[in-house]
Each structure stands twice: as C-alpha cells, then as structure tokens.
Structure 1
Amino acid sequence: MTDNKTLPDQIPTLFIVPTPIGNLGDITQRAIEVLSSVDLIAAEDTRHTGKLLSHFNIQTKTFALHDHNEQQKAQVLVEKLLEGQSIALVSDAGTPLISDPGYHLVTKCRQAGVKVVPLPGACAVITALSASGLPSDRFSFEGFLPAKSKGRKDKFLEIAKAERTCIFYESPHRILDSLKDMLEILGPDREVVLARELTKTFETFQGLPLGELFEWVQADSNQQRGEMVLLVHGHREAVLESLPDEVTRTLAILSKELPLKKAAALAAEIYNLKKNALYKWGLENLD
C-alpha cells in the first residue's frame, strides 16, 4: 500500500460505512476496500472498531467520534477533509447516523461542500422488518424508546392510531418495563414482533399479540438479553361484520349518486359509525 491512501478519484470524501450488526461475514467488499484506503476512520468506539479492523487486517488510523464529543470534534474532521484527506465514518454496528453518531459531521460536511458518499450495508431496522411478517409498505423508525415510563407511554400514545408499522430499539434491562407500558397503552391484542440478536447465534423472532408477548418474555430470562428491535403493527380499524339494514340501504342509495368514499363518510356521520368500516363494507358488498 502506498503512503497516499486517498481513494482513486483523489477527491476528499467522507464515506458513511456500515459495519456488521453481529455476523462479521456481513461486511461488504466495498466497505473493506474503503476502510483500507481512507486516511482516517472516525469511530464511535475506537476499541470496538479496532477489533473489526484487526479481523480484516486493516491498518488505518482511527479517531474517536461519539455522542459526547461529536459537536466539538466534527469541525476538526471537516478541516482534515478540506486539507485533502478522505475519512470513513463508522459506528459500533450497522449504518452510522441510525440512532448512532454522525449527524453533526455530515451536516457540517454538506455545509462546507465536502463530498459525502454513503455505502449500503447492514441496518438492524431493515433486517428486522424484512423478516417480521408485518406490513413493510409503510413504516417509521422511532429510535430508542425513552428511558422513563412516562416518556415511553407518551410515545405509545403518539403512535396508537398510526396505521404504519412502527419500529423501536430497546435495551435488555428495560424490555419488560417497555412491554408493560406498551401493553397499558396499546392493549393486549396489538400484534408486536420482538427481533433479538439479529445475525448472531441466538437470533430470535417472536410475533404475538402484545399480552402474550409480554408473558412470553417475562417467563424466559434468555429473551431479556441481547440487542433488541420491537416492531409494532399499525392501528387497524375494526371492520363491521354486519350492518343494520337501514344503514346498508342508506349507503347503497348514497353510493349511486356519490363516490363510495364520500357516501361512506356521509352515512357514518348520519349513524355515528366509523367511516373506514363503512367504506370497507361498501367495497366488499356494493357493485
């Protein structure tokens, strides 16, 4: 390797480099090449990253960039980039900035006109969602749950009526308390998936109604260990199995003159029913 480690295009660049979330085999060839070729690696924990670099025989120097120093140190790294160096940003696991440091650095790089190149790779959110069995067409990542019960309950109240899948990270020592708070706000029937120790030896996916999931985790201390992702099924309106004859007659008459969605909204207002339930009934029963 030559002394000049800047990548082939010679343009100083900040590379966003995902690292494995458990299985070291999940690192990409491109990630190895970038980590080997840049001038410096900004790492959340240099000791943790050092083990990864040693495993792949990467000799690049590291620089500590974590939650407690990022706002102060980001400008130092920007200056190095402006001087002509290329830098790779990594977190302890997964894709940087996803509940990990890096936001301030990337923002300053954008403001300074420094090229920022993201590499695709491991991300616990997407890994968990892809195998959860929950709807994936609309979802939101909500980050780590608040440490205190009131904050968690407020968050669950916020997403209680959301129709998208909501995804959270949680730590093992709070998992039972979080599930208990979730149970209080969302009720025992909401479908929730616990994805634990992703890509590792004891990888576990368990999806159950929330009341049953809480009991399952509570009964097995092994399920209270490791890295955890909680995926919550979006809110679903109850679909009426049957409607009074007068409601269906009204809906049928209205739907002849109006679009079904408008007809359902008017019928719902007249009979004090859920418009989504009437609309779904209309879709299934009216021509």
Structure 2
Amino acid sequence: MDASTPGQLIIAATPIGNAEDASPRLRRLLAEADVVAAEDTRRLRALAGRLGVEITGRVLSHHEHNEQATVGELVAAVAAGSTVLVVSDAGMPAVSDPGFRAVAAVVEAGLPVTAAPGPSAVLTALALSGLPTDRFCFEGFAPRKPGERARSFAALAREPRTMVFFEAPHRLAAMLADLSAALGADRPAAVARELTKTYEEVRRGTLGGLAQWATGEVRGEIAVVVGGAPEGVEVSEADLVAEVLSRVDGGDRLKDAVAEVAQAAGVPKRELYAAALAARSKG
C-alpha cells in the first residue's frame, strides 16, 4: 500500500463449481490484495483453502444487505493506495451479485478499476444450450410474484435475442410454465444446472416439455436459456398491454411506455393506451 498514489479496485471471477477453473491470477490476487471484499467470508476462506492460498489482506464482508454501507470503505481504501479485490460466491461480481455499486462509486471517484475475468454461469449456460449465441440478453432472476412474473415474460414475447435467466430450483416449474404461456410451448429452450460440478446436466427441448419435466424434483444452481422470437411472430393485444404494464412497473410513465411499445409493434397508440388503462382499472 502506498498512500501517496491511489490503489485500484479489482473485480475477480471465482469458480462456479469446479475449483480447477480458478486462474493463476485469481490465486495471486487473493494472496496479495490489501483488502478482499467477499459476498460470504466463510465461502471465501473455503475457496482459498481448496486453492492452497493464504489470504494475508483484510477480509471484508460485502453482500447485498450491506453493499451500500461498505462501498464508502472500499472507495476510501482504494484512494489510500490499497489494492481492493471484490469477489462473489461464484462467477463474476456485479452480474446478479454484489459489485456494481462498488465499481460505480470508484469510477465516480476517478480511481482505477479493472477486472480479473474468469468463469461465468451466464456464458457457460449460453454456450452449452445449443441456441443462437450471436445476440443474447441476460434477464437475471424473474420476479417472484406470479402476476409480475407473467407481465415480465409477456414483455419479452417479441425479444429476438436468446435470453438467459437464473432461477431457484423450487421456483423453476412455475417459471417455465409462465414462460411457456407467454412465449409459446414450442419455443426452444434449455435448462442448465450444476454447471462444471459433478452432477452437471443440460436439458434441451421446448418450454412446454421442460415445464413438464421440471414438475419433478430438480436440484442445484440453475440457468435457463430461451430462444428468441422468430421473425414475423404475431403478438396479441394482451401481450402488448402486458409489456406496457411491465414497463410502468419498472418506472416508465404510462404515456411513454405506450408510445414505445406501439411504435415497435406498429399498432395505434390510442387503442393500446385505452386497452392499458382498462387493464390497470381491473387491477
């Protein structure tokens, strides 16, 4: 550490299952960093033990519940000349894991930020799915409430890119059933679980078939990959209204959401606005 010059923030990817995927650079950073900010400090120390690495720097708990409070401490450490390493339980920090706020704050402070890339559940699931990879989007975890989840999926009915989601095993069947209802039972998809682990499995098929399969017991960490909408797909007024309401739930003004959805779908704004108002009045 040199207080006369700023240090740097490094976000580092950790193995998503197989410890052998850890890079030599990750091993070195874990051993040399002045501060290691970890999503779960116990898992961090367990990983270090499997890698045969001794962490000599200060270990700081940095997770979704205290991320806002600890960001200032990380920025101050970088400003004081420390090398601050941010790791999540698995994969790349800031992607459905803590890290985004730290990166944004350090960038805003004009301090150095870099990354030590590595394993990614998103990219691994996408590559193994057998679905198009030239254009894709990451949707993270779907809403837990059934109504919000259905509206969210309806808003994706016309999405042409391959979509990647994360989901908990106990919600997988309901998620796939809602995806099947919104996007069509014959939409191609894949469910990847326990990636890089002993019981890795990738199920490929249609949303309807996968939804039926998932009614049985499915365990492990799960990523769902769904093919994009085919060209020329027709979308019903109900789907368009659901997309509008999903955008409103996300903070858009109703008027703006209607204008954007109507323009993209090539339908009259006035009719879509009236339909959205009617849907809102019904709750």
Q: Which residue of 1 aligns with 2:88?
A: 91
Q: Which residue of 2 aligns with 1:128?
A: 125
1:93 aligns to what SS in structure 2?
coil
Match of 1:54 among 49, 71, 75: 49
For residues 228-273 of structure 1, give each alpha carbon's deviation from its aligned partner in whole angstroms, at most 9, with x where no partner exists. 000110011369xxxxxxxxxxxxxxxxxxxxxxxxxxxxxxxxxx
Q: Please say which of residues 10-19 and 174-183 is displaced more in the overlay.
A: 10-19
Q: Which residue of 1 aligns with 2:261?
A: none
After TM superposition, the score normalised by the length of structure 2 is: 0.78
CA distance in 2, matches of 1:59, 1:49: 9
Runs of 4+ in 1 over 3 A off after TM superposition: none
1:15 aligns to what SS in structure 2?
strand
Is 1:43 the counterpart of 2:47 in the alignment? no
Q: Which residue of 2 aligns with 1:165?
A: 162
Is 1:230 the counterpart of 2:227 in the alignment? no
CA distance in 1, matches of 2:232, 2:8: 52
Q: Which residue of 1 aligns with 2:196?
A: 199
How far did 1:57 drift? 2.4
1:230 counterpart letter in structure 2: V
1:155 counterpart letter in structure 2: S
How far did 1:12 drift? 0.7
For residues 207-237 of structure 1, give each alpha carbon's deviation from its aligned partner in whole angstroms, at most 9, with x where no partner exists. 111111112222x42xx11000001100113
Q: Which residue of 1 aligns with 2:267?
A: none
What percentage of residue pairs aligned between the two structures are identical? 42
1:226 aligns to what SS in structure 2?
coil
Q: Which residue of 2 aligns with 1:23?
A: 18
How far did 1:11 drift? 5.4
Q: Which residue of 2 aligns with 1:66?
A: 63
Q: Choose 1 or 2 for highest CA Rg.
A: 1
CA distance in 2, matches of 1:32, 1:187: 45
CA distance in 2, matches of 1:189, 1:120: 36
For residues 89-129 of structure 1, give each alpha carbon's deviation from its aligned partner in whole angstroms, at most 9, with x where no partner exists. 00000000000011111111011121111111011000111
How far did 1:176 drift? 0.8
CA distance in 2, matches of 1:237, 1:38: 50
Q: Which residue of 1 aligns with 2:106?
A: 109
How far did 1:35 drift? 1.3
Is 1:141 the counterpart of 2:142 in the alignment? no
2:13 counterpart letter in structure 1: P
Corresponding pairs, count = 230
1:58 counterpart letter in structure 2: E
CA distance in 2, matches of 1:114, 1:177: 44
Unaligned runs of 5+ in 1: 240-287
2:86 aligns to what SS in structure 1?
strand
How far did 1:88 drift? 0.3
2:9 aligns to what SS in structure 1?
strand
CA distance in 2, matches of 1:121, 1:113: 25
2:149 counterpart letter in structure 1: R
CA distance in 1, matches of 2:145, 2:34: 41
Match of 2:9 among 7, 14, 24: 14
Q: Which residue of 2 aligns with 1:249?
A: none
How far did 1:50 drift? 1.2
Q: Which residue of 2 aligns with 1:183?
A: 180
CA distance in 2, matches of 1:120, 1:57: 19
2:85 aligns to what SS in structure 1?
strand
CA distance in 2, matches of 1:178, 1:74: 33
